[in-house]
């Protein structure tokens, strides 16, 4: 298997797909060996040793921009170390599909109100189609083929109870070094839950056990550098892939854009609580509001028209058209 260094060296730049000043990241589209590739570069968080409270960055060069009374502004070139204090985190997707390119491209965002009827007419057929196209081979590889075994943080699997098992590993968004930006993902072994829509009261005890295990082992895995109540544990809707998984993020992590915003992230504690009131069908009975981009296939496959219809029914004018 080729290394990331070899891939980046052969990368032929075509255009910038997105640039985010909040996350300090840039997404580039190009080709490697005539196949589309996406490179994401994100500046890493400042490194502080949590046990000694030592600051490991040092200034190689400083240039003053201006000053006023007791306030001074300037720019700096920091000393970096690839092992303990890298300047950026690099992700490569190759070969990249059209779905990847749409996902990482800059796009207009919209708030969608998904009723149970909208889910059944528009969203569920799309989810079933994605699932049938076997786009989750990489998930299967992690769960059953020991892919990324060297990155696994925790694995909970008993042969007699695979349904209760899960595996936890670092998300691509984390550099694996700075605890302040810790980002893990827990992927469950059971394959009957594609999203929160499939959750009902029969899953409540399973979710409680999962939640408690995460809060117990994650601090222990990182020498208790963070506490259970410093973990933001949530799921996405719509998720990036339709196999139930849970995001585990240091609550201090600020730079995730929409990933931790209302309209995207749903706290696992809130999911468990809601299952007390939603009836036997659970989230199938609930209207879910969330943010979705115009590049998402669901927007063109019916959500755009549904948003327009809902606004018209409520006599709310749309100020401008959207693609």
241 is in an annotated binding site: yes
What are the Cα distances from residue 255, in Å, to 21, 67, 71, 281?
A: 9, 28, 26, 35
Q: How far apart are CA 133 and CA 131, in angstroms?
A: 5
296 is in an annotated binding site: no
244 is in an annotated binding site: yes
239 is in an annotated binding site: yes
Q: How far apart are CA 95 and CA 138, in angstroms?
A: 14
26 is in an annotated binding site: no
173 is in an annotated binding site: yes
Q: How far apart are CA 323 and CA 303, in angstroms?
A: 12
Number of DSSP helices (H) and strands (E) in the chain, helices first: 9, 16
Burial 176-197 (b: 16+ CB within 10 A, else e): ebbbbbbbbbbbbbeeebbbbb
Q: How far apart are CA 123 and CA 111, in angstroms?
A: 15
138 is in an annotated binding site: yes
State the catalytic residue, choosing from 45, 203, 245, 253.
245
253 is in an annotated binding site: no
The first and second tokens of residue 35, run together, are 């196949």
Neighbours of 77 (CB within 10 A): 10
Q: What angle do CA 252, 219, 180 make, to 5 degrees?
A: 25
238 is in an annotated binding site: yes
> Is 245 noted as a catalytic residue in this protein?
yes
The DSSP annotation for 129-189 comes to HHHHTTTTHHHHHHHHS-TTGGG-SEEE--GGGGGG-EEEEE-TT--SS-GGG-EEEEEES
237 is in an annotated binding site: yes
Which of 234, 243, 252 has the alpha carbon at shortest distance from 290?
234
171 is in an annotated binding site: yes
Query: Which residues lie closer than 8 Å to 111 by C-beta, 6 or more apart?
Result: 263, 289, 290, 291, 307
110 is in an annotated binding site: no
Binding residues: 138, 148, 171, 173, 236-247
Q: Which residue numbers are catalytic?
A: 245
Binding residues for substrate: 138, 148, 171, 173, 236-247
């Amino acid at each position: 298997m080729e290394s990331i260094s070899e891939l980046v060296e052969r990368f032929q730049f075509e255009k910038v797909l997105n640039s985010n000043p909040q996350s300090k990241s840039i997404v580039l589209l190009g080709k490697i060996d005539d196949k589309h590739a996406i490179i994401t570069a994100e500046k890493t968080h400042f490194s502080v040793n949590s046990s000694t409270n030592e600051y490991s960055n040092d200034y190689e060069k400083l240039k003053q921009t201006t000053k006023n009374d007791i306030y001074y502004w300037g720019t700096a070139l920091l000393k970096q170390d690839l092992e303990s204090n890298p300047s950026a985190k690099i992700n490569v997707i190759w070969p990249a599909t059209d779905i990847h390119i749409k996902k990482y491209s800059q796009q207009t965002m919209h708030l969608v109100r998904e009723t149970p009827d909208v889910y059944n007419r528009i969203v569920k057929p799309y989810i079933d189609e994605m699932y049938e196209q076997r786009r989750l081979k990489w998930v299967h590889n992690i769960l059953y083929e020991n892919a990324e075994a060297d990155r696994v943080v925790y694995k909970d699997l008993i042969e007699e109870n695979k349904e209760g098992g899960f595996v936890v590993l670092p998300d691509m968004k984390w550099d694996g070094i700075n605890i302040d930006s810790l980002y893990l993902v827990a992927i469950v072994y059971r394959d009957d839950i594609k999203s929160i829509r499939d959750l009902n009261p029969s899953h409540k005890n399973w979710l409680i056990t999962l939640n408690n295990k995460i809060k117990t082992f994650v601090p222990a895995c990182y020498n208790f550098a963070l506490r259970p109540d410093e973990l933001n544990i949530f799921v996405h809707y719509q998720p990036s892939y339709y196999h139930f998984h849970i995001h585990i993020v240091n609550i201090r992590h600020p730079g995730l854009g929409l990933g931790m915003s209302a309209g995207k992230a749903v706290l696992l504690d809130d999911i468990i609580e809601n299952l007390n009131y939603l009836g036997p069908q659970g989230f199938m009975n609930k209207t879910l509001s969330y943010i979705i981009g115009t590049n998402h296939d669901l927007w063109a496959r019916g959500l755009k028209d549904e948003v327009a219809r809902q606004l018209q029914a409520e006599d709310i004018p749309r100020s401008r058209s959207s693609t």
